[in-house]
Amino acid sequence: MPTVVEPKLIAGNANRPLAQAIARRMSLYRGMSVGLVDARVERFNDQEIFVEVYENVRGEDMFIIQPTSNPANDNLMELLIMADALRRSSASRITAVIPYFGYARQDRRTKARTPISAKLVANMMVTAGIERILTLDLHAAQIQGFFDIPVDNLYASPIFALDIERQFGDLSDVLVISPDVGGVARARELAKRINAPLAIVDKRREKPGEIAEMTVIGDVTGKKCIIVDDMCDTAGTLCKAAEVIMGHGATEVHAYISHGVMSGPAVERITKSVLKTLVLTDSIQPTEAVSSAPNIRILPTAPMFAQSILNIWNGTSVSSLFETETLGPIYEGIL
């Protein structure tokens, strides 16, 4: 009789806690133990990456859990080398679970003689043997078109909506804000889920990295404002936007961000800012400074990723997880 191929998880070093949390949630959903495949992912003295898988993976449905966050190049190479090791070990299918897709901001040529690095990364992943991508809140949705393999792009907005409903209770005075014109679609999606109005912060730059002026489009007077964006890097724009919104008469400003890159002075800026809370997902492993910051909270993505992996393995719908009604029971007792 043919054997039933089980989903198997393997993780790099980018976000081990998330990988272990996904394995625990899958164990809970399936009623049987699901662990990470025993492997070593380490570096030689010259920082070359070496991967050795200790378990038999021939004919198995493999899922590599590895965000390509800072250090982006090291984590990307770990992912590619793990994929190559599994392909050469005759795995039946290799899916890359990339909670945070690095290089996504380089999705187009903004000026002459610049690369489209996101497309280059896509080509490298396919060449390495990856046959499917599962990711969260791509910086630019069109990156899905850079791949000639299936790409499932999950959204954090259903998780944010569940958390907002729990944290705020009465949503009559809540207003969702996009920190720039480019993020309006993302902000509108969350606003629709919680039935809240929408405003926009328009920013003008005199040169890259410097914001000359910010203008709030919409009435924020007396409102609890929620800024929603896909990533927070150095937090300069976010903190300035919060100040401008408070200056226009808002009572509170909160931020819900999918990916907490949190580079350089970000944590210090957030701690000293007028933001009441900054809510991040754990797509990128939070540093000790982020975890201990008094006004930063972390939302888990493991329940959603675990169910998505099981749906891919079963051949059932992943897009069903975009709905609050479907995701709600998965997060019951967690948020």
What residues are labeled active site? 203
Q: Token pair of 117, please?
A: 């690095």
| Angstrom distance (rounded) from CA 210 to CA 207 | 6
- How many Cβ atoms sit within 10 Å of the Cβ of residue 193? 19
Q: What is the DSSP string of 42-90?
A: EE-TT--EEEEE-S--TT-EEEEE----SSHHHHHHHHHHHHHHHHHTT
Residue 237 annotated as part of some ligand binding site: yes
Which sign does the torsion angle of CA 241, 261, 138, 159 carry? negative
Closest CA to 105 of 245, 225, 263: 263
Residue 229 annotated as part of some ligand binding site: yes
Closest CA to 254 of 160, 142, 140, 144: 160
Residue 235 annotated as part of some ligand binding site: yes
Residue 248 annotated as part of some ligand binding site: no
CA 127 to chain centroid? 24
Contacts 24+ apart (CB under 8 A), 302-305: 302/18, 302/21, 302/22, 302/24, 302/25, 303/25, 303/330, 303/331, 303/334, 304/154, 304/159, 304/330, 305/18, 305/22, 305/25, 305/65, 305/97, 305/99, 305/134, 305/136, 305/154
Residue 48 annotated as part of some ligand binding site: yes
Residue with tokens 């000026």: 111
Q: Which amino acid is at 277?
A: T
Q: Are 240 and 260 in contact (CB under 8 A)?
A: no
Which sign does the torsion angle of CA 11, 13, 14, 20 carry? positive
Residue 326 annotated as part of some ligand binding site: no
Residue 52 annotated as part of some ligand binding site: no
Residue 332 annotated as part of some ligand binding site: no
221 to 174, 240, 250: CA distances (angstroms): 11, 17, 5
Q: Token pair of 31, please?
A: 């009623």
Residue 47 annotated as part of some ligand binding site: yes
Coil vs helix vs strand at 95: strand
Residue 173 annotated as part of some ligand binding site: no
Binding site for Mg(2+), by residue number, is: 139, 180
Binding site, by residue number, is: 46-48, 105-106, 139, 180, 205, 229, 233-237
Binding site for ATP, by residue number, is: 46-48, 105-106
Binding site for D-ribose 5-phosphate, by residue number, is: 205, 229, 233-237
